Structure 1
Amino acid sequence: MSSESSGEIQFSNLFSPLEVGPITVRNRICETTNTIESYGHDAMGAPDEHFIAHHIAKAKGGTAWIGSETWLLNSPLPDHAVDEFYEGAAALQLAAYQLPGYQEKVSEFCDAVHAEGSVAIFQLTHLNHALAASSVPTTNIYDYVPHAMGEEDIEFILNTYADAAELAMRAGADGIEIHCAHETTPHTFLSPATNKRDDEWGGDAEQRTRFVIEGLRRIRERVGGNIAIGIRINGQESRQGGYDLMEFREMAYYIAETGFLDFINVDVGHCFGVHAYVPPSYHAPAEFREAGKALKVDVGDRVKILFSGRINEPVVAEELLRSGACDLVGMTRAGIADPEFPNKVREGRMLEMRRCIGCNRCIGEAVHSRAPRAAYRPVCSVNPVIGQEVFWSENFKPAAVEKHVVVVGGGPAGLEAARVAAMRGHRVSLLEKDRALGGQLRLAYKVPGRDSFEDFFYFQENEMERLGVDVRLECDANVAMIDELSPDVVICATGSTPRADLEAEGLDSGSVVMGRDLLRNPTLAGQRVALVSQESYFETPNIAEFLAEKGRQVEIFHMWTQIGSEIDRYSIGTVMKRLEETGVKIHTGLRLSKVEGSTVTCVSAYTGQQENFDGFDTVALVYGSVPESALHEQLQAAGSVKELYIAGSAWVPRRIAEATSHGARIALAI
Structure 2
Amino acid sequence: MKISAQGSSRYPHVFSPLQVGPMTVHNRLCETTNTIGAGRLEGAPDDAFIVHHVAKAKGGMAWIGSETWLLDAPMPSEAKDEIIPGGAAMRFPLYYSPDVMTAVQRFVAAVHEAGAVAVFQLTQLNAVFGPSAVPVSGAYDWVSHPCTPDEIEHFIAAYANAAAAYHGVGVDGVELHAAHETLLHLFLSPATNRRTDEWGGSTEGRCKLLVETIKRVRATAGPGLAVGFRFTAGEARAGGFDLDEAERMIRHICREAPPDFVNFDVGHSWGDPPYVPTSFYPPALGADRAKRLRRAVNEVNEDVKVLYAGRVLTVEMAEQLLEDGACDLVGMTRASISDPEFALKAAEGREEEIRPCIGCNRCIDNSVHGTGTGLFQLQQRAMCSVNSTAGNELYWAANYAPARQQRHVVIVGAGPAGLETARVAAGRGHRVTVLEQHDHLGGQVWLAGQIPGREQFLRFVDYHQSNAARLGIDLQMNTAATADSVLALSPDVVVCATGSVPLVPPIDGADDPSVVQAWSVLDGSAPLGRRVAIVSQEDGMETVSVALKLAHAGHEVEVFHHWGGIGNALGRYTVPPVLTRLEELGVVCHSRVRVTKIGDGRLDLQSALTGRGSSVEGFDSVVLSCASRPDSALHDELRTAGFGRLYLIGAAWTPRGIQESVEHGMKVGLEV
Task: Give the shorter-chain TM-score range.
Answer: over 0.9
Q: Cα 1:522–1:245, aligned 2, differ >3 Å: closer, same or farther?
A: farther
Shift of the 474–523 alpha-carbon distance from structure 1 to 2, 3 Å rule, reads closer
**Amino acid paired to 1:337:** S
Assess, with a 3 A threshold, how the Cα gap between structure 1 residues 522 and 272 changes in structure 2: closer, same or farther. farther
Shift of the alpha carbon at 1:83?
2.2
Contact 1:267-1:309 within 8 A present in 2 as well: yes
Task: Tell me which residue corresponds to 1:662.
Answer: 664
Q: What residue number does 1:305 align with?
A: 306
Q: What does 1:282-297 align with in structure 2 at a 5 Å threshold? A: 282-297=280-295
User: Which AA in structure 2 matches 1:10?
Assistant: R
Distance 1:506 1:500 in 2: 10
Distance 2:78 2:221 in 1: 35
* Alpha-carbon distance, 1:399 to partner: 1.1
SS where residue 87 of structure 2 aligns?
coil
Q: Is the 8 A contact 2:365 2:572 kept in 1?
A: yes
Counterparts of 2:444 and 2:511 in 1: how far apart (Å)? 25
Instruction: Give 1:52-63 correspondences, 5 Å limit.
Output: 52-63=50-61
Change (3 A) 1:563 1:7: same
Instruction: Determine whether 1:233 maps to 2:216.
Output: no
Counterpart in 2 of 1:31? 31
Q: Which amino acid aligns with 1:645?
A: Y
Unaligned runs of 5+ in 1: none
Given that residues 161 and 221 in structure 2 are in contact (C-alpha distance below 8 angstroms), is that contact kept between their aligned partners in structure 1? no
Q: Deviations over 1:626-645 (max 9, x none)?
A: 11111000100111x33100
Partner of 1:550: 553
Look up the match of 1:534: 537
Deviation at 1:7, TM superposition (A): 4.4
Instruction: Look up the equivalent residue of 1:303 and give its one-letter code.
Output: V
1:374 corresponds to 2:372: no
- Contact map agreement 2:65 2:121 (CA 8 A) in 1: yes
SS at match of 1:225: coil
Structure 2 Cα separation of the partners of residues 145 and 364 of structure 1? 23
Q: What is the distance in 2 between the residues matched to 1:508 and 1:416?
A: 34
- Matched AA of 1:12: P
Matched-pair contact (CA < 8 Å) for 1:511–1:617: no
Amino acid in the other structure paired with 1:396: Y
Please tell me the residue identity of whatever aligns with 1:115. E
Q: Do the aligned residues in 1 keep the contact of 2:426 with 2:471 (CA within 8 Å)?
A: yes
1:584 corresponding residue in structure 2: 587
1:355-411, Cα deviation, whole Å (9 max, x unpaired): 100000001111011226012222100001001111111111111211111111000
CA contact (8 A) 1:72 1:94 kept: no
Aligned to 1:619: 622
Quote the Cα distance in structure 2 between the aligned partners of 1:426 and 1:87: 43
Give deviations 1:206-246, integer Å, cap 9, x for gaps.
22111001101111001233111000011111111000011
Cα-Cα RMSD: 1.3
For 1:226, the aligned partner's letter is G
5+ residue gaps in structure 2?
Answer: none
Percentage identity across paired residues of the two chains? 47
Q: How many residues align?
A: 664
Taking a change above 3 Å as real, the CA distance of residues 415 and 30 of structure 1, as seen in their structure-2 partners, is same
* Residue aligned with 1:357, SS: coil
Partner AA of 1:31 in structure 2: E
Q: Select 1:485's aligned residue among 483, 486, 489.
A: 489
Amino acid at match of 1:316: M
For 1:522 and 1:132, the matched residues in 2 are separated by 53
For residues 117-136 of structure 1, the C-alpha deviation after alignment (integer angstroms, 9 at most, x for no partner) is 10000000001121101111
CA contact (8 A) 2:543 2:625 kept: yes
Question: Which residue of 496, 499, 516 maps to 1:495?
Answer: 499
1:422 corresponds in structure 2 to 426
1:434 aligned to 2:438? yes
Find the partner of 1:383 among 378, 382, 387.
Answer: 387
| Aligned pair partner of 1:118 in 113, 116, 134 | 116
Q: Which residue is 1:152 aligned to? A: 150
Deviations 1:247-293 (A, max 9, x none): 01111111111354100001011111111000011000110112210
TM-score, normalised to structure 1's length? Answer: 0.97
Q: Deviations over 1:439-460 (max 9, x none)?
A: 1222110101000000101000
Q: Equivalent residue of 1:235, what SS?
A: strand
- Shift of the 525–38 alpha-carbon distance from structure 1 to 2, 3 Å rule, reads same
1:144-176 deviation per Cα after TM superposition (whole angstroms, max 9, x unaligned): 211100011011110011110011111101100
What TM-score do the two structures reach when normalised by structure 2? 0.97
Conservation of the 8 A alpha-carbon contact between 2:82 and 2:88? no
> Contact (CA 8 Å) 2:122, 2:174: kept in 1 or not?
yes
Give, in angstroms, the shift of residue 89 of structure 1.
2.5
How far off its partner does 1:84 sit?
Answer: 3.6
Q: Quick one: structure 1 residues 85 and 343, their matched pair in 2 at CA, closer, same or farther if it must change by over 3 Å?
A: closer
Distance 2:367 2:356 in 1: 20
Residue number in structure 1 paired with 2:611: 608
- Among 597, 602, 605, the residue aligned to 2:600: 597
Specify the alignment match of 2:356 in structure 1: 355
> Would the aligned equivalents of 1:92 and 1:127 in 2 still touch at CA under 8 Å?
no
Partner secondary structure for residue 234 of structure 2: coil
Change (3 A) 1:479 1:87: closer
Q: Is the contact between residue 504 and residue 510 of structure 2 (CA under 8 Å) also seen in structure 1? A: no
Amino acid at match of 2:182: T
* Distance (whole Å) between structure 2 residues aligned to residue 205 and residue 54 of structure 1: 40
What is residue 176 of structure 1 aligned with on the other side?
174
Matches within 5 A, 1:79-98: 79-84=77-82, 86-93=84-91, 95-98=93-96
Which range is displaced more, 271-280 or 250-259?
250-259
2:35, 2:86 within 8 Å by CA — same for their partners in 1?
Answer: no
**C-alpha contact 1:527 1:552 (8 A) present in aligned 2:** yes
CA distance 1:477–1:123, change in 2 (3 Å)? same
Amino acid aligned to 2:616: F
Q: Is the 8 A contact 1:593 1:601 kept in 2?
A: yes
Task: Report the equivalent of 1:99.
Answer: 97
